[in-house]
């Protein structure tokens, strides 16, 4: 059966152990990804999130209301067969890491960046032996290839499901180091999201924020926090 059937056809949702993972079943029938891969996730907690999404569907199945199901589909259909490519793509953020590009002024913004970001770069240097260089302004700074390679090794070690959650931690923040710090518990997802928005929040404090922008930020924040949950459940 297709995991994306348009109409609800089941009454009960169950979770069963399946080898080293957990499978969600609808009236005893297995759920499959869009590419027909058996939907097996690495933890019961992950399966419970998926089961709750299917339980919450009304007469018509709405995939956009099922982020954990979509994440599992991505992990199985996209990341698993392209693990090395996805890891390489995310590792490339280290070469232009948000934390390495600082404002040239005003002093208050520069101080906020340094206070939040310097300890994270120090942590990466200690944790991975990867010291990244910092610059002011937008001109690119060349990073030490050995440091980038060590960060890349850390990313490559993640499982496909972990890499799926890690993707949004990096892509939303624009920082490989920040993504690693949140993934490894160096800081909370809330703190990580706030650290990624120092520049934007400073601009808001100066000029204000409109309603549409506030809604966009709320969506990004929810996606970021969920990415951390997906990583942890994996």
Query: Residue 93: enclosing H or E segment and its boundaries?
Result: none
Q: Each residue of 36-46: pLDDT tens digit?
A: 999 999 999 99
Joined together, the tokens standing for residue 19 give: 């080898």
* Average pLDDT score over the chain: 94
What average pLDDT does range 29-35 have in this prediction?
93
Q: Each residue of 147-156: pLDDT tens digit?
A: 999 999 999 9
Q: So what's the pLDDT on residue 81?
A: 97
Tokens 């002024």 — which residue?
105
Q: Each residue of 67-115: pLDDT tens digit?
A: 999 999 999 999 999 999 999 999 999 999 999 999 999 999 999 999 9
Q: So what's the pLDDT on residue 1?
A: 37
Set out the domains of the chain in order of their start, with CATH numbers: 13-65 (3.30.2180.10), 82-233 (1.10.3580.10)
Between CA 148 and CA 158 the distance in angstroms is 16
Q: What is the pTM of this model?
A: 0.94
Using alpha carbons, select from 165, 146, 167, 195 the residue that is nearest to residue 93.
167
Q: How confident is the model at residue 174 (pLDDT cuts 50, 70, 90)?
A: very high
4 pLDDT above the threshold of 70: no
């Amino acid at each position: 059966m297709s995991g994306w059937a348009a109409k609800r056809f089941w009454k009960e949702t169950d979770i069963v152990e399946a080898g080293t993972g957990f499978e969600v079943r609808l009236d005893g029938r297995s759920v499959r990804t869009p590419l027909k891969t058996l939907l097996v996730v690495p933890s019961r907690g992950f399966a419970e999130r998926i089961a709750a999404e299917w339980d919450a569907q009304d007469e018509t199945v709405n995939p956009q209301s099922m982020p954990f199901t979509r994440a599992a589909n991505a992990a199985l259909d996209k990341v698993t067969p392209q693990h090395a490519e996805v890891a390489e793509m995310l590792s490339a953020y280290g070469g232009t890491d948000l934390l390495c590009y600082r404002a040239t002024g005003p002093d208050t913004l520069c101080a906020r960046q340094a206070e939040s970001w310097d300890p994270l770069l120090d942590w990466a240097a200690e944790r991975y032996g990867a010291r990244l260089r910092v610059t002011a302004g937008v001109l690119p700074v060349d990073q030490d290839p050995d440091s980038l390679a060590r960060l890349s090794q850390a990313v490559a070690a993640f499982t496909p499901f972990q890499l799926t959650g890690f993707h949004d931690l990096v892509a939303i923040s624009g920082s490989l180091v920040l993504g690693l710090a949140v993934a490894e518990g160096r800081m909370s997802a809330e703190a990580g999201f706030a650290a990624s928005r120092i520049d934007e929040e400073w601009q808001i404090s100066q000029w204000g924020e409109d309603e549409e922008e506030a809604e966009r930020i709320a969506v990004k924040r929810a996606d970021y926090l969920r990415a951390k949950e997906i990583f942890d459940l994996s």
